[in-house]
Structures are given as structure tokens and as C-alpha cells.
């Protein structure tokens, strides 16, 4: 996807939240990234480190929590885990399924002082 613009959004959100809490320096930013979100973690960290200079996040560490994908079968209701892209549920081989996890892209915690 667009790791540099995502990294910029992460920095903007983190700086805003830190300011709101009356903090000046951000130590860590923790994000949840689904493995099916289309984001390359290494590219995101690289862009974050390049863009954080001269901001309150200049010394911040970006921590990524990976979220493995999960789905629910529309036929039998079974919750299943999977890897990569799937087009049918593994239990019933049914195209009627819903992906419930794995496409997250969100900030969960900022540590600042």
C-alpha cells in the first residue's frame, strides 16, 4: 500500500494525541497491523523513521503488533484462521464467509512524557 503516507498519518495522530495529553516527547507508538492489510511492516518502519525527524516523535520507536486473519463460515458458523487470500471457507468450502480479523490498521497506544 502506501507506507510513507501511512507513516505520516501515524506520526500526525501520535503527535496530536501526545499534545492533548500534555506530553512533549513520544517514546513508543504501538499499532495493530493485520497481515492482510496490504502493509509491508519493514517499509512502514523505514518510512516512520525517516519522517519522524524534527517532530516530537523524533526518538520514538514504532511497535507493530501483527494480527493474524480470522473468518467465520456463513454455512456452519465455524470461526477459522487462515493465511494469505482465500476464496472459500476451509470447513465447508463455501464462498459465503466473512473475514473478521486481519485487515486492521490502527494505533492502539502511545507512550509519551
Partner 1 sequence: MKIRVVNRILEANERIAEQNREVFQRHGNFVVNLMSAPGAGKTTLLLRTIEMLKERVPVGVIEGDITGTTDAERIGALGVPVVQINTDGACHLDANMINSVLSELPLSEIRLLFIENVGNLVCPAEFHVGEDMKAMILSVAEGDDKPLKYPLMFQESEVLVINKIDLLPHLDSDLDSIRSNALRVNPSLRVFAVSCKTGEGLTDWVEYLLKRVEDRKSN
**Nearer Cβ to partner 1 (70/111):** 111
Interactions with partner 1, residue window 10-29 (CB under 8 A): 10, 13, 17-18, 21, 23
The number of residues in the chain equals 113
Distance CA 14, CA 37 (A): 20
76 scored as a contact of partner 1 (CB under 8 A): no
Please tell me whether residue 75 binds partner 1 under the rule CB under 8 A. no
Size of the site for partner 1 (CB under 8 A): 26
Using rule CB under 8 A, residue 110 touches partner 1: yes
Q: Check residue 49 for interaction with partner 1 (CB under 8 A).
A: no
With CB under 8 A as the contact rule, the residue among 38, 75, 78, 100 that binds partner 1 is: 38
Question: Taking the complex as a whole, how short is the minimal distance between the CB of residue 79 and partner 1, in angstroms?
Answer: 20
Contacts of 61 (CB under 8 A, 6+ apart): 27, 28, 29
**Per-residue b/e over 43-78, b at no fewer than 16 CB within 10 Å?**
ebbebbeebbeeebbeebebebeebebebbbeeeee
- What is the 8-class DSSP label of residue 77? -
Rounded Cα gap, residues 113 and 35, in angstroms: 31
Residues that bind partner 1 (CB under 8 A): 1-2, 6, 9-10, 13, 17-18, 21, 23, 31, 38, 85, 87-88, 95-96, 105-113
Amino acid at each position: 500500500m502506501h507506507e510513507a503516507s501511512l507513516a505520516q498519518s501515524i506520526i500526525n495522530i501520535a503527535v496530536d494525541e501526545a499534545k492533548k495529553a500534555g506530553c512533549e516527547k513520544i517514546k513508543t507508538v504501538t499499532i495493530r497491523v493485520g497481515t492482510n492489510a496490504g502493509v509491508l511492516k519493514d517499509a512502514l518502519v523505514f518510512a516512520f523513521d525517516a519522517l519522524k525527524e524534527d517532530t516530537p516523535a523524533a526518538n520514538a520507536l514504532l511497535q507493530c503488533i501483527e494480527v493474524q486473519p480470522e473468518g467465520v463460515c456463513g454455512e456452519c458458523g465455524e470461526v477459522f484462521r487462515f493465511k494469505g487470500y482465500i476464496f472459500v471457507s476451509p470447513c465447508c468450502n463455501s464462498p459465503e464467509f466473512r473475514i473478521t480479523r486481519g485487515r486492521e490498521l490502527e494505533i492502539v497506544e502511545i507512550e509519551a512524557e
